[in-house]
Chains A and B, each alone.
Chain A
């Protein structure tokens, strides 16, 4: 079915086989866990730093500015310098704060992003865990992040933080619905929750093209709702810097602040990657009908490149939103969800079910 020539399952399989030859099965699992963990840590840091740099550069160009240009050529190591600065900064303890929860909150936030990262299929066979309920798992994990935000706001013993946290709670709880429904659309189309299965089902065309207009609608809803779920502008009410100074992470400093900051960007990456996987075919190359030659050339582009470029395409759209629109008010935010997104996506899912039943999709 797949015409992909870059299959990582042979590579991972051979690593597994050679490790099994050397040690007992328990140790093999342990070594593989450590290896995957190390790879993810490196990847996490790299992507996080790059996304921060990208955001600053993109918004600078949109705002007719130059952006970071001092540290390194085109300011390319600016974010590394910022990270070092954040590492060296004092962790300011807050009096009358709940110490345990205050320290725990950034870790909860960052751990959930790690969990989300585990499910992403970067290329064929390059996926940490391939659950059969992958979509469900992502939904579950991504809604855990709000716990960290709520704890951060509550334990800071700051009024701004508390308002930010409660806003964030209301926001994420409601937008979870739309995200879930828009993901469900693809699940209905492909008939599986397994992410690798969803990608495989798009070998002959991406769902955004195959699924007619309903798939496009759910893609737009997914974009809007997931932007809201990761607390990014124009839905960044939880941190609303002009109202709440910095919202839930007002009282955090140093590396703990960096955790929140990094988690925000990683969330954006995860959401974009998920969107790319579900709607834009994941690591599947771009194929056009019967153009054999064209399709063949597309196959030569490595699957990981396809995946990353689709992800960054969605990231750019999310950034474009943020740097264009004003922030919504909390009641308008909820109105948008409950009056517009939710009814539309409910209707949409019924439509999709009908289409799938009739077998009208490609």
Chain B
């Protein structure tokens, strides 16, 4: 198990453009969207990190930008890391798919696409998961549905 500092050093060595915000609960790394796939690939294959388990993949809409949040875990060392990629193009957000690395990413990404409208490049089957095709993207902060959602 690597501690926070060691992980930070490794990730910085893999991808120098990564930022590490201070004072977070878990180790967070903000990675540029286009560099993310390469970094995760290295993190999974490296024997010291071995992040082979994607706990969760989700997104947060910060109204100015979208953030895709990846929670990675290593089943061998049990160290956790949070990767984030900020997508500034809120209208047409796009990032790389992690389906090639984690099978479960396919469905997490479909969920994120369904609820946020974030498109994932190289995704084998990017269809909506829960909702109809013409429904909006409900977890975006500007989503309004007068019929079904009663605002308090």
**Does a CB–CB distance below 8 Å link A and B in the complex?**
no
B: residues with CB less than 8 A from A are none
A: residues with CB less than 8 A from B are none
